[in-house]
Structure 1
Amino acid sequence: MSLPPLKTLPAFEAVARLNSFSLAAGEMNLTQSAISHQIRALEDSLGEELFVRAGRKLSLTEAGEQFLEAVAPALAQIERAAVRLRGSSDERLRLAVPSSLAVCWLIPRLPQFQRQHPGIEIDLEMLSDMPHMSDRIADCFLTVRYRQRGYQSQRLYVEQLFAICSRPYWQQMQKRLREEKLLADDEPRSLDPGWLLRYRLLSAASLFDRPGEDWRRWFAAAGAELPTDARLHHFSHMLLAHEAARHDQGIALANDYMIDTAADPDLVRLPVPPMATGDEFHLAYKTSRRNEAAIRALAAWLEEQAARSGW
């Protein structure tokens, strides 16, 4: 069996994960010189350069990337096996999740998971985008980019956008529409989507990385067109647009994991059609780890929570 020096592998994984020799040295309680020596020994053993060093900048070579993809999960598996043999039932899973989904939907529900599975610790990794999945980042991912070699996934949520506003704003809308003889006295069951153009529209650039694109697509899905003179108020993120809507500033677009109007006393879901964005949120994890008890428990619990949320 031709193995590289095994003691060098944790050092390699730490440097690759932290992108720093000094940070890896601090984490492993070694000197930076010792870490550098171990990396050189590993490279000599493999006959390949694993890192590109350009001044203070450090990055993995192609060979380093390939080696890390094999080494990181192997080290994690060895660690889990050692924990079990030491008699500890505690397990730890790193779950990577988009920040909005984590803050608005997942975190309020996590105490229930912890009560049901006290031996499983969930460490959340907040994502600002959807990265290439890797054990270096997390054990499991809540992601819309779930198709990746070596991974399997299960669908939790198909995203759609619906229009919301505050209850006082909704009352003002109805009053104006009745004055214009467009509504009867009863609470309307549906509105003409074009009527929303009479009001301020709160747009979130984070949805489609372009100001106003959310409302343009929503009107297109409703068979209408967003005019160039529409009253748009721009925000960088949905959270800001939702807060503006909550404070009577106009109409925003929301999805099911960020806003539950049935449980929110301040916001109303307007009776206009929703728009499917085309995104599906999946729980994804390595196929080779599909039978791990902690991952199975997390997957079953997330499916249950998604069903309870009406997804």
Structure 2
Amino acid sequence: MKLPPLKALPVFEAVARLKSFSAAAGELSITQSAVSHQIKQLETYLGEQLFWRSGRSVTLTDEGRQYFDAISSALLQVERASEQLLGHEQSRIRLSVFSSFAVRWLVPRLPYLQRRHPQLDLALEMSSENPVLSERVADCFITIYPTVPAYSYEHLYTERLFPVCSQDYWQRIRRELGRNAEPEGRGEKPVSAEDIARFPLLSTHSIFDKPAGDWEAWFREIGEPVPESARVQHFSHMLLALEAARFHQGIALTNDYMLSTRKDSEDFVRLPTHSVITGDKFYFAWKTSRRHEKGIQLLRRWLVNEAVRGGLRGE
């Protein structure tokens, strides 16, 4: 077996991760000259330059980035295997997750995870967009794109959107539609799309990456366009649109996980009308080569159980 200088590999990983020779030296408790020596030794062995150096700035070359992806994964597997054999595996897991999913669904449930699996040390990496599946980013992910061949995927939720407003705003809608004399509750007759368009529509741009794309999809579900007379207020994120609805500013389209846990979800009323499937499916993703790691599998099973228990996913 022909191996590179093994002492140089943790040094290379630290420099690549921290983007600094001095920071790597501090983390590893060695001198900066020792770091430089180990990197030079590794570059000589490989016959490739691994870093671009510009003053104090350090960036990976294309070859260095490719090597880092492979080496960081291998070193992590060695660490995990050693901890497991020694009997004190810590199960440190970094999970990259959409900000809305984290804030409205995952974070409120973390106390249950900690009580059930106290050995699991979970660190959350918030993402406003779909994360790049790479161990440089996290150990596992919540993603809507199950397309990277090196990863395995567990379905958690198929997104649907439905209109909601605040309790106070719902009473206003009932008054303006002349429904005060009708019984309120499950037996209430549906609200038509035409009636909904009479009130301000709070739109989330990021769902379909276009202005009013969410409301266009909702009206299209019944074969109608958004009425030209409709007043649409635009927001970049569903969290913002939902907060505007909470403060009686109109009707927002939201999904199941946004209202699944928070106690203040009782502030909202789901309007008696149709919903629309967006086409987005949420998956828990982990690298297939790490499928036997205890921490990842504990987290996977817990997420699935919570998704089933909370109604996001069927049995």
TM-score for the superposition, normalised by structure 2 = 0.90
State the 1:54 CA deviation. 5.3
Q: Which amino acid aligns with 1:143?
A: T
Post-superposition Cα deviations, 1:213-264, rounded to whole Å, max 9, x if no partner, equal 2222222223211244421122222112111111111001111111239962
Unpaired segments ≥5 residues, structure 1 = none
Post-superposition Cα deviations, 1:132-177, rounded to whole Å, max 9, x if no partner, equal 2122221111111222121111100011111110011111111111
Given that residues 141 and 284 in structure 1 are in contact (C-alpha distance below 8 angstroms), is that contact kept between their aligned partners in structure 2?
yes
Given that residues 194 and 224 in structure 1 are in contact (C-alpha distance below 8 angstroms), is that contact kept between their aligned partners in structure 2?
no
The alpha-carbon distance between structure 1 residues 292 and 261, as it changes in their structure 2 partners (threshold 3 A), is: closer
Look up the match of 2:239: 239
The answer to whether 1:154 aligns with 2:154 is: yes
| Worse-matched range after superposition: 76-85 or 133-142 | 76-85
State the 1:56 CA deviation. 6.0
CA distance in 1, matches of 2:145, 2:84: 32
Given that residues 21 and 32 in structure 2 are in contact (C-alpha distance below 8 angstroms), is that contact kept between their aligned partners in structure 1?
yes
SS in 2 for 1:162: strand
SS in 2 for 1:198: coil
| Worse-matched range after superposition: 99-108 or 123-132 | 123-132
State the 1:87 CA deviation. 3.4
Question: What is the 5 A alignment of 1:295-310?
Answer: 295-310=296-311
CA distance in 1, matches of 2:273, 2:182: 18
Given that residues 80 and 89 in structure 2 are in contact (C-alpha distance below 8 angstroms), is that contact kept between their aligned partners in structure 1?
no
Given that residues 105 and 261 in structure 2 are in contact (C-alpha distance below 8 angstroms), is that contact kept between their aligned partners in structure 1?
no
Look up the match of 1:25: 25
When the two chains are superposed, the root-mean-square deviation of aligned CA atoms in Å is 2.2
Post-superposition Cα deviations, 1:48-81, rounded to whole Å, max 9, x if no partner, equal 1222345665433332222122211111111112
Given that residues 51 and 60 in structure 2 are in contact (C-alpha distance below 8 angstroms), is that contact kept between their aligned partners in structure 1?
yes
State the 1:30 CA deviation. 3.5
| Worse-matched range after superposition: 262-271 or 289-298 | 262-271
Q: Which amino acid aligns with 1:168?
A: D
CA distance in 1, matches of 2:214, 2:146: 23
Unpaired segments ≥5 residues, structure 2 = none
| Worse-matched range after superposition: 7-16 or 78-87 | 78-87
Q: Which amino acid aligns with 2:50?
A: L
TM-score for the superposition, normalised by structure 1 = 0.91
Look up the match of 1:42: 42
Look up the match of 2:80: 80
Look up the match of 2:272: 271
Look up the match of 1:164: 164
Q: Which amino acid aligns with 1:185?
A: E
Question: What is the 5 A alignment of 1:1-311?
Answer: 1-53=1-53, 58-178=58-178, 185-187=182-184, 188-260=188-260, 264-311=265-312
Aligned length: 308
The alpha-carbon distance between structure 1 residues 262 and 232, as it changes in their structure 2 partners (threshold 3 A), is: same
SS in 2 for 1:277: strand
Percent identity over the alignment? 51
SS in 2 for 1:258: helix
Q: Which amino acid aligns with 1:177?
A: L
| Worse-matched range after superposition: 31-40 or 238-247 | 31-40
Given that residues 261 and 267 in structure 1 are in contact (C-alpha distance below 8 angstroms), is that contact kept between their aligned partners in structure 2?
no
Post-superposition Cα deviations, 1:25-50, rounded to whole Å, max 9, x if no partner, equal 33333344433332222111101122
Given that residues 19 and 59 in structure 1 are in contact (C-alpha distance below 8 angstroms), is that contact kept between their aligned partners in structure 2?
yes
The alpha-carbon distance between structure 1 residues 33 and 89, as it changes in their structure 2 partners (threshold 3 A), is: closer
| Worse-matched range after superposition: 3-12 or 30-39 | 30-39
Post-superposition Cα deviations, 1:180-201, rounded to whole Å, max 9, x if no partner, equal xxx9723433121122110011
CA distance in 2, matches of 1:194, 1:31: 71
Q: Which amino acid aligns with 1:285?
A: W
The alpha-carbon distance between structure 1 residues 58 and 89, as it changes in their structure 2 partners (threshold 3 A), is: closer
| Worse-matched range after superposition: 14-23 or 295-304 | 14-23
